[in-house]
Amino acid sequence: MEEKEKDRKKKKAGGIIGFFRDFTYGMATHGMARHALKQRSSMEHLFILITMGDMLGIPILPPYYSLRLLPHVVPQITTWKRRMLREKDFMDSMY
């Protein structure tokens, strides 16, 4: 796994072309990518909300099957809970 990661980084960072690619990325796409990532993580949280809502007291999905999804969202649960209970936008959108 780590090997692979190093390999990938090397490939990405290599040479003058790599430099220009990273440069343009920084200039043009970085902001977009950041926005997309933010959007994506909002969706992730929305997804966990509608599948595991009963953790916050909102029962939605048949528990038998939501358990199947649980292992895949374990790492996100803590940040999700924190965000859901704090997020102003989220509460705004509810009321």
Partner 1 sequence: MSLAEIFQKYPNRRYIMYGGKGGLGKTTFSAATAYYLAKKGKRVLVFSVDPQASLSDIFERDLFGKGNIEIMPNLFACEVDADQRIKDYQEDIRQKILSMYGMKQIPEEIESYIKASSAEPAMEESAIFDAVVDIVVKGDFDYYIYDLVPLGHALYYLSMASIYDAWLENITHLREQMREYDKAIATMQHEDQIGQDEIYNELMYIKERIGNSSKIMTDTEKTAFFFVVNPEEMTIVDTEKAAQLFSRYNVPLAGYLVNRVIDRSLLEENIPTYLKNRIEMQAKSLKLIDEKFGSSVLSQVPEFDSEIKGLKIIRDLAEVMFEEKLP
Nearer to partner 1, 15 or 62 (CB): 62
Does residue 84 bind partner 1 (CB under 8 A)? Answer: no
Alpha carbon 6 to chain centroid, angstroms: 22
Print the binding letters for residues 53-72 with partner 1: x by CB under 8 A, - otherwise.
Answer: -xx---xxxxxxxxxxxxxx
Nearer to partner 1, 19 or 25 (CB): 25
**DSSP secondary structure, 23-48, as one string:** HHIIIIIHHHHHHHHHHHHHHHHHHH
Nearer to partner 1, 32 or 91 (CB): 32
